[in-house]
Amino acid sequence: MTFGLDPDKISARFSPSIIGREIQVYRETASTNDVAMRLGRAGMAEGVVIFAESQTAGRGRLGRQWKSAAGLGLWFSVLLRPRWADFSHLSLAAAVAVARGIDPFLPERARIKWPNDIYLGEDRKTAGILCESSRDFAIVGVGLNVNHSWNDFDGEIADRATSLALVSGQHFDRNEVAASVLAEFDRIYQTLPNGFEAVVSECTERSVLLHRFVRIQSGGFSASGMVTGIDRDGGLRLRLENGFEKIVTSGEVVAMEML
C-alpha cells in the first residue's frame, strides 16, 4: 500500500505554533528549497513548509545532487525568520528534530553525524539537511529516506544510504512521519535561542563521531584528529594529532573506519 502526501493529513496530526502553520505539497518541483526561497523573498510569514513528492534538481550540501524519487521519501523545506542573529543554530536544531521525529518509528535511536546528517544501522545515512539563508530569512531543507528498498539506491550512495523501512522492516505512511518531524521541529524552534545548549547536548549524546578518529575537509583546510565533543556554538571539537584542540565550524567529516 502506498500513501500519498496530503497537507490535511499532516496537519491533522499536530498543532503547530509556527512550523507547519501552512503546508503545501507539490507533485514535482526542481527543489523545495528554491520554492521556499521564492516565498521568503515575496515576504511570506515564517513557518510555511513546502513538500514535493519528487524533485528534479534536489540538491545536497557541498554542491551535491540529492536524489528525490517520487513516493519514497520526505523532501521538504521550511521557511524561517529567526529573530536572533545566528542562523547557524538552525541546522543542529533541525538535526535533533529529525532524530527525535523518526525515533518512534524505529527499533533503534537515530544518531547524528555532525553537522546535520542522520544515521541509522551500520553508519548509514537516512537523512540530510541543507540550510540556506538570505539577509532576513533562512530555509531548512530536509531529505529523509522513508520507504526505500536497497534497489532504490544506486551509484556511490548505495553503500552509504539506508531508510526507515530498511531498518525497521516496515513501510510507513509518510504523512505520519512528516507530522512527527515537524512537531519536534516546531517544539525545538520555540526554545531557540535560549535552548541551544540542550540541542548541543543532544547532538553530542546522539553523535556518530564522538571519540572517533576523523578526517575533516573544510575549504582549503584539512586535518585529522579525535572528536572530543561539540562546543556551545555548535562547532565540532577536534583533538589534532599534534595535541592541539581545534573547533571546526563547517566542512565534511569522515570517520577513518568509514573511508
Task: Give contact residues for ligand BTN (rule: CB under 6 A).
Answer: 31-33, 55, 58-61, 64, 66, 68, 75-77, 117, 128-130, 141-143
The distance of closest approach from Cβ of residue 239 to ligand BTN in the complex, given in angstroms and rounded to an integer, is 26
DSSP of 127-175, one letter per residue?
EEEEEEE-SS-EEEEEEEE-S--GGG--GGGGGTB--HHHHHS----HH
Q: Which is nearer to ligand BTN, 54 or 228 (CB)?
A: 54
Task: Give the distance, in angstroms, between the CA of residue 9 and the centroid of all CA atoms in the same chain.
Answer: 22
The distance of closest approach from Cβ of residue 243 to ligand BTN in the complex, given in angstroms and rounded to an integer, is 32
User: What is the rounded CA–CA span in Å between residue 18 and residue 189?
Assistant: 8
Query: Which of 197, 181, 208 minimizes the C-alpha distance to 19?
Result: 181
The distance of closest approach from Cβ of residue 39 to ligand BTN in the complex, given in angstroms and rounded to an integer, is 13
Q: Which is nearer to ligand BTN, 15 or 71 (CB)?
A: 71
| Three-class DSSP labels, 24-44 | EEEEEECCHHHHHHHHHHCCC
Q: Which is nearer to ligand BTN, 46 or 246 (CB)?
A: 46
The distance of closest approach from Cβ of residue 197 to ligand BTN in the complex, given in angstroms and rounded to an integer, is 25
Q: Which is nearer to ligand BTN, 197 or 252 (CB)?
A: 252
Q: Which is nearer to ligand BTN, 68 or 225 (CB)?
A: 68
**Residue closest to ligand BTN (Cβ):** 128
Query: Which of 178, 162, 158, 186 minimizes the C-alpha distance to 107?
Result: 162
The distance of closest approach from Cβ of residue 181 to ligand BTN in the complex, given in angstroms and rounded to an integer, is 12
The distance of closest approach from Cβ of residue 140 to ligand BTN in the complex, given in angstroms and rounded to an integer, is 9
Query: Which of 152, 159, 131 minimizes the C-alpha distance to 73?
Result: 152
Query: Which of 62, 53, 102 minimizes the C-alpha distance to 219?
Result: 62
Give φ, ψ of 216 to 5 degrees: -120, 140
Q: Which is nearer to ligand BTN, 58 or 225 (CB)?
A: 58
